[in-house]
Structure 1
Amino acid sequence: MKTVTVVGASLAGLYAARELRAQGFDGRLVVVGAEPHHPYDRPPLSKGFLTGDCAEPQLALSDTEEAAQLDAEWILGTRARALDARGRTVVLDNGRTPASDGVVIATGAFARRLPGPALTGVHTLRTLDDARALRRDLIHGPRRVVVIGGGFIGAETASSCVSLGHDVTVVEAAPLPLATQLGAEMASVCAALHARGGARLLTGVEVAALRGAGPTTLGGGAVTAVELSDGRLLPADVVVVGIGAAPNTGWLTGSPLALDDGVLCDEGCVTTLPQVVAVGDVARVGGFRAEHWTSATEQPRVAVRNLLARRTVETARPLPYFWSDQYGSRLQFAGRRREGDTVRVVEGSPDASDGDGFLAVYERAGRTTAILALDRTRLFTKARRALMAAAATDREAERERDEEGEREAEREREAERQAEYREDAARAS
């Protein structure tokens, strides 16, 4: 390959660029980014960056020395508009059309927004520019902040706002926040963190509309309240919308790539187009799309190996892992929980009022499937290592079963060929 284009100057995009050089690619490397910034760390945006504990330079994921080593051509502040599959040409909105021998899709995801007119004081939190705008709104004395959505971004933002002295209400449409990820039992424990931290949590109620006061009814005014589906009005000076994210695949509409809640890939991050792979939040690998930091950092190694090999020679099945810092506590989760798994607390107490923390394991058919910890980082790290080792053993056993299945199929085919040979010989005699 002479040229590889990485579309997305994201965490996953940066790791892909690193892997290309580490795995011996010495050709032209182009990295395209919709934002004007070089790759930066997103997790602190809802935490230390909002509170002022993390300065902007600390968000950088690389430095000038690494940039020189990567020897990449950075095209920043420019969106990809289309992918011409015939020549693997990426069409950019500035008119440029870099042709490539290989393409890495790492365009991530975008924050979902509420319908209705635009109002000042209403924010999403996905990008550095989002965080800058929200932080500017939070420095003007105590504000009434309503956070819509009790997921990780919502909870972390609420925690940061409380620490800054604001009056905070979290609105969650589901009966419990994080129930999909953690299950109802553990979600109720984590929901108690809001009360312990000093925020109000309203669950089982949806947002009907945002109220604003401004010069026109078409937008441009300032948010004044959040209207709930039960008729309640929550006065608000600042609203943060944290209702999830959707994969950035709009630019791929019309291409031959298979799209369905992300770019469809096999377990090696290889798409339906030759020499095109996808990684990170935009990739649906082996039927799953995981918006986790670990996916963005672990998938690129396998994706690049397969890209350079021009076929799938290795699969990527990292054990899902995420963490969240809320109200002075650290929540950590690893594994694959499914409905019906039982959960058991093995260390500490799930009673949030005592502040002791706990370690819990999820189990299915006598085997651990996932682990959850609150303020038990050392125990969690040990348990995660054990879970990763067990997963690796399972993958090896699965690989051996697959290989044995292939050998058995070949034996059956050979037996059929021998039977046909004998029949032909018998007819000839």
Structure 2
Amino acid sequence: MDDLILKVEHISKQYRLGLVGMETLQDDLKRWWSQLRGKPNPFLKVGDLNDRSIHGDSDYVWALRDISFEVGEGEVLGIVGKNGAGKSTLLKILSRVTTPTSGKIMTKGRIASLLEVGTGFHPELTGRENIYLNGAILGMTKAEIKSKENEIIDFSGCERYVDTPVKRYSSGMRVRLAFAVAAFLEPDILVIDEVLAVGDAEFQKKAIGKMQDISKGEGRTVLFVSHNMAAVKSLCSRAIVLEHGRIAFEGHTDTAVSFYLKGDTESLNKRMFDSKYDTSYFVLNSICVKNTNREAEDPIVEDQVIELETYITLKVSDPERYHITYHLVNELGAPLFSFSNNGIPLVKGHNLLSCYFPKNFLQSGQYFLSLYIIQDKHHAVFIEKDICSFVVVDAPRQLGVYMGREPGYIKPQFTWKNRNI
């Protein structure tokens, strides 16, 4: 690629756990002796997976393992993953805050980073002085910084405090000024960690708009880490999902977000439970979501009827006291609506219930179902969040039809009337 601005090749980062840092004298002697004999670093062969939920056997852990990707000029790359997946470590390596254990990075141009509140700010200097300090670090002349000074101060909203030492700023004010400095001093690559979450809703919206201007209008590159999937989807054209220090997925943002949010879901579209949900009230056998007259393994398309099939066996002698309620949640975790089997009574023994979503009711995207078994209309005897997930894909479009995805997640069919007044 002629417009390639960042290339990461097989980056790995290893840390030593405990009170002792990475560079102990004993380990340094082992590395030196291996290098003297022409052997590889012996510590590259050891180390546990970066999984904080387990207790490993090694004193070494791989925060990152064999990370490779490329970024073009003007591209906005999202980096998502759970806490501890290696996102911040990767950004620190790209920003040269720390060095990789192995691998190499090739970049063109200046990199500006916003990794934590007040990154690069000297607390004893005023906000104005820190603007010039950061500009100098980026290699800009005093005249270049001066030409951007008023824009930076205006965007940050800190004009009243700009001649006050930064140590007296709130965390939100520091983020505002730090982002304004990073964005307006024209780096070729802007690296943004989750730090924007410290700002208020107004500033987050303003910052996302500025990053869009930076990438689309000015052709500069942005690397964006966030747990706000709505911000990632609105800003990024491509995304990487990190799991345990490795790249688990790389591709289009919508697909990457769905992959990340799916997490450890056992199965997509259909779940068989065996004896997992065998209670004194019922046995939940399976839940399946599919287009009617199609298999569960087939893609679910938006322009066909979607069928939710629930196979449940009731053990109770008074099944009329029970009913099923589902909550439908979108891929960002926002609840859409709930629905029940009202009017379709359950019976003792086997029940195979089908609920039908009309054609073109759900937009394309990933959805999650939470199941509630309700007794006497007010007491839940069973609750299981995100018990099943399914993905709806776009239907083929005819030539001349609008090709984009409409906003929202459902497409209700309203009745219109024209009285020709």
TM-score, length of structure 2 as denominator length: 0.22
Rg (Cα) greater in structure: 2
Whose helix fraction is larger, Structure 1's or Structure 2's? Answer: 1
Higher strand share: 2
